[in-house]
């Protein structure tokens, strides 16, 4: 490869005084790293211009050594903080022992993991997969098969209710019911069998459930990608109740909202701060299928899961579904460690407490600025709405300035900025971050427009 010496030469020029990082003799400059991605990678993302090479807890460092607070947490995958030693330790230990057997054979981690994760969340069974989109696909397949075999829906007629502005991943079937034109355009033909209705609209759901052959309702308890859309307090309880009445499966996509992020173990737990034993709490909207990903591994390894009780999961039989990597021993070891960290470090409770502080500070700030109209969210999944057209670049420009000031966040849906730091943040750090956010927006007021 001639590429590497070339890069190194350029880096030598630009980084003569650089220290060694990660045992590499030379470090790429940000400029060079971005140029390489541009030239050799598909352009399926539009990243902020920052090149990261190290993470620890709530912090990340770029290749030039500048330190940042992470306010995205890899879309809430890194709830436990970057490179958590317990999770990385589990990864290393298992990786040296056994990494992959496929499911053609049993392995000695999967069973203990399955027992652990089903007890943790209170379901009979789990189906392990790798990415979030795969878990959503899995849930769709289970719901359809359940519809045909248990509910008596005529073959190929099943329908699943979904919601405007949903985000469930990027596969062909999932984008078939997306509202995002960029996600859909020129990717047809699309998969049939979905009914899309407005979010947070109980009457619309009641009507849709009267349609023949509905087998499931697939929903995010808070719509993260759409800009942290929080529904009415009792909406998820209503979804659970209406699904039950209509003999339809309530499928909760908690890939982004789950595992402590919103100040409860799951967003469907509502206002209780239980850790998986919410059955007795009146605010718990128990789904028939729970879809998890992202933080189930603390961002260390791709792990996802669908949880359900026996009467649903039993429609899955040998040969009907699978994945080479799904349920591998590294995934099991990592996920157990990641879930233990959430519980042992009381991260759910911390997210709840810090979330309240964050929204209180932002609300005070909003009183004093024209540039932000609203803060909303639950726990440490929050967003501010920028006072400008969704098509404007204001939110992007603010995020670039936030980066310059040492805090990494990303706009979602044009004029909305999502703020979702790792849940291991301290109260003092949160206040420092609020200072950075406020200072940055003030700077922007002065010079940016
Ligand atoms: C991220 C996300 C997904 C997709 O997960 P991938 O691992 O990116 O496939 C699905 N649903 C929600 C709510 C998500 O936030």
User: What is the distance in A from the centroid of ligand 1 to the CA of 252?
Assistant: 12
Q: What is the chain's mean pLDDT, rounded? A: 92
- Tell me the C-alpha distance between 396 and 374, whole Å: 17
Does any domain span residue 41?
no
In-domain check, residue 73 = yes
Q: Where are the beta strands (DSSP E) in 25-131?
A: 52-56, 59-62, 67-70, 125-129
Strand order in the sheet with 416-419: 372-378, 381-386, 416-419, 410-412
Residue 118 lies inside a defined structural domain of this protein: yes
Residue 413 — very low, low, confident or very high, per pLDDT cuts 50/70/90? Answer: confident
Residues 208, 125, single domain; the answer is: yes
CA–centroid distance, 294 to ligand 1, in Å, is 7
Same domain, 58 and 142: no
What's residue 446's pLDDT?
74
Please determine, for residue 10, whether its predicted confidence score (pLDDT) is greater than 50: no
By most ligand atoms within 8 Å of CB, the mutation choice from 221, 293, 304, 412 for ligand 1 is: 293
Contact 198, 163 (CB under 8 A): yes
Question: Is the predicted pLDDT of residue 445 greater than 70, yes or no?
Answer: yes
Distance 224 CA to ligand 1 centre (A): 10
Q: Is 151 known to be catalytic?
A: no
Average of per-residue pLDDT across 206-210: 98
- At residue 281 the predicted structure's pLDDT band, cuts being 50, 70 and 90, is low
Residue-wise pLDDT tens digits, 345-392: 999 999 999 999 999 999 999 999 999 999 999 999 999 999 988 888
Contacts of 115 (CB under 8 A, 6+ apart): none
pLDDT level of residue 145 (50, 70, 90 thresholds):
very high
301 shares its domain with 361: no
Domain boundary among 344, 367, 402: 344
The answer on 325 and 416 residing in a single domain is no
User: How many Å apart are CA 449 and CA 445, to the nearest integer?
Assistant: 7
* Token duo for residue 378: 């639950």
DSSP letters of 377-405?
A: EETTEEEEEESS-TTSSHHHHHHHHHHHT
Same domain, 176 and 292: yes
The alpha carbon torsion through 159, 221, 113, 127 (nearest 10 deg) reads 10
Which CATH number covers residue 390? 3.90.1150.10
CA of 254 relative to ligand 1 center, distance in Å? 9
Q: Is the pLDDT of residue 297 over 80?
A: yes
Instruction: Give me the mean pLDDT over the 118-129 stretch.
Output: 96
Pair 297, 380 in one domain: no
Structure-model confidence comparison of residues 16 and 116, the more confident one: 116
* 143 within some domain: yes
Which residues form ligand 1's pocket by a CB distance below 6 Å?
Answer: 75, 131-133, 136, 167-169, 220, 224, 253, 255-256, 293-294
Together in a domain, 300 and 204:
yes
Same domain, 192 and 213: yes
Burial class (CB in 10 A: 0-12, 13-18, 19+), 26: middle
Instruction: Flag whether 65 is in a domain.
Output: yes
Q: Beta strand pairing status for 67-70 and 407-408?
A: parallel
Q: What is the DSSP letter of 303?
A: -
Inside any domain, residue 149: yes
Query: Among residues 329, 340, 349, which one has the least CA distance to residue 295?
Result: 340
Q: Which of 132, 136, 261 to mutate to test the pocket of ligand 1 (most atoms within 8 A of CB)?
A: 132
**Catalytic residue status for 346:** no
Average pLDDT over residues 6-14: 41
Taking residues 254-274, what's their average pLDDT? 89
- Domains of the chain: total: 3
The domain boundary, picked from 323, 344, 365, lies at 344
Q: Single out the catalytic residue among 71, 121, 167, 177.
A: 167
In this prediction, residue 278 carries a pLDDT of 59
Do 320 and 375 share a domain, yes or no? no
Based on the residue annotation, tell me whether 167 is a catalytic residue of this protein.
Answer: yes
Question: Quick one: 277 exposed, middle or buried, by C-beta within 10 A (0-12, 13-18, 19+)?
Answer: middle
Q: Which atom of ligand 1 is nearest to the CA of 225?
A: 15
* Residue 403 shares a structural domain with residue 418: yes
| 192 and 205 together in one domain | yes
Task: Judge whether residue 13 has pLDDT over 50.
Answer: no
pLDDT of residue 11: 42
Domain presence at residue 60: yes
Higher pLDDT residue, 26 or 300? 300
- Name 206's bridge partners: none
For residue 24, give the DSSP letter: B
Within a domain: 101: yes
> At 444, is the pLDDT very low, low, confident or very high (cuts 50, 70, 90)?
confident
Q: What is the CATH number of the domain that holds 277?
A: 3.40.640.10
The tens digit of pLDDT for each residue in 55-105 reads 999 999 999 999 999 999 999 999 999 999 999 999 999 999 999 999 999
- Structural domain ending residue among the three candidates 344, 369, 402: 344
Q: Are residues 310 and 395 in the same domain?
A: no
Per the structure, the complete domain to which residue 28 belongs is given by 1-36
The whole-angstrom separation of Cα 249 and Cα 243 is: 6
């Amino acid at each position: 490869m001639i590429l590497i010496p070339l890069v190194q030469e350029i880096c030598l020029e630009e980084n003569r005084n650089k220290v060694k990082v990660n045992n590499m003799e030379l470090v790429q400059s940000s400029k060079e790293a971005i140029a390489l991605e541009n030239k050799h990678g598909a352009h399926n993302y539009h990243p902020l211009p920052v090149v990261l090479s190290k993470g620890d807890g709530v912090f990340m460092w770029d290749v030039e050594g500048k330190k940042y607070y992470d306010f995205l947490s890899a879309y809430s995958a890194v709830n436990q903080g970057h490179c958590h030693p317990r999770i990385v330790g589990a990864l290393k230990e298992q990786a040296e022992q056994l990494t992959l057997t496929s499911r053609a054979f049993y392995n000695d981690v999967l069973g203990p993991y399955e027992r652990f994760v089903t007890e943790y969340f209170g379901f009979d069974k789990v189906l392990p997969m790798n990415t979030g989109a795969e878990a959503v696909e899995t849930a769709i397949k289970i719901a359809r098969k359940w519809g045909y075999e248990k509910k008596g829906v005529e073959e190929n007629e099943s329908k699943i209710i979904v919601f405007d502005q949903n985000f469930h991943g990027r596969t062909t079937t999932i984008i078939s019911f997306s509202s995002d034109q960029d996600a859909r355009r020129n990717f047809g033909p699309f998969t049939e069998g979905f009914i899309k209705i407005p979010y947070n609209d109980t009457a619309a759901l009641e009507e849709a459930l009267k349609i023949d052959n509905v087998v499931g309702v697939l929903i995010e308890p808070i719509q993260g990608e759409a800009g942290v859309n929080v529904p009415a307090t009792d909406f998820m309880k209503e979804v659970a109740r209406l699904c039950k009445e209509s003999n339809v499966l309530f499928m909760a996509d908690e890939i982004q909202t789950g595992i402590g992020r919103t100040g409860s173990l799951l967003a469907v737990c509502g206002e209780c701060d239980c850790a998986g034993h919410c059955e007795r709490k009146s605010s718990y909207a128990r789904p028939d299928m729970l879809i998890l990903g992202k933080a189930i591994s603390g961002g260390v390894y791709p792990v996802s899961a669908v949880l359900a009780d026996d009467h649903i999961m039993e429609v899955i039989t040998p040969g009907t579904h699978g994945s080479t990597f799904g349920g591998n021993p590294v995934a099991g070891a990592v996920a157990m460690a990641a879930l233990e960290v959430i519980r042992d470090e009381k991260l759910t409770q911390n997210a709840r407490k810090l979330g309240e502080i964050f929204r209180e500070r932002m609300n005070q700030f909003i009183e004093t600025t024209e540039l932000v109209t609203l803060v909303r969210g639950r726990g440490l999944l929050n967003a501010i709405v920028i006072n400008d057209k969704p098509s404007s670049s204001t939110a992007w420009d603010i995020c670039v300035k936030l980066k310059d000031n040492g805090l990494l966040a990303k706009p979602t849906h044009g004029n909305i900025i999502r703020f979702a730091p790792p849940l291991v943040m301290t109260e003092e750090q949160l206040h420092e971050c609020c200072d950075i956010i406020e200072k940055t927006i003030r700077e922007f007021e002065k010079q940016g427009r």
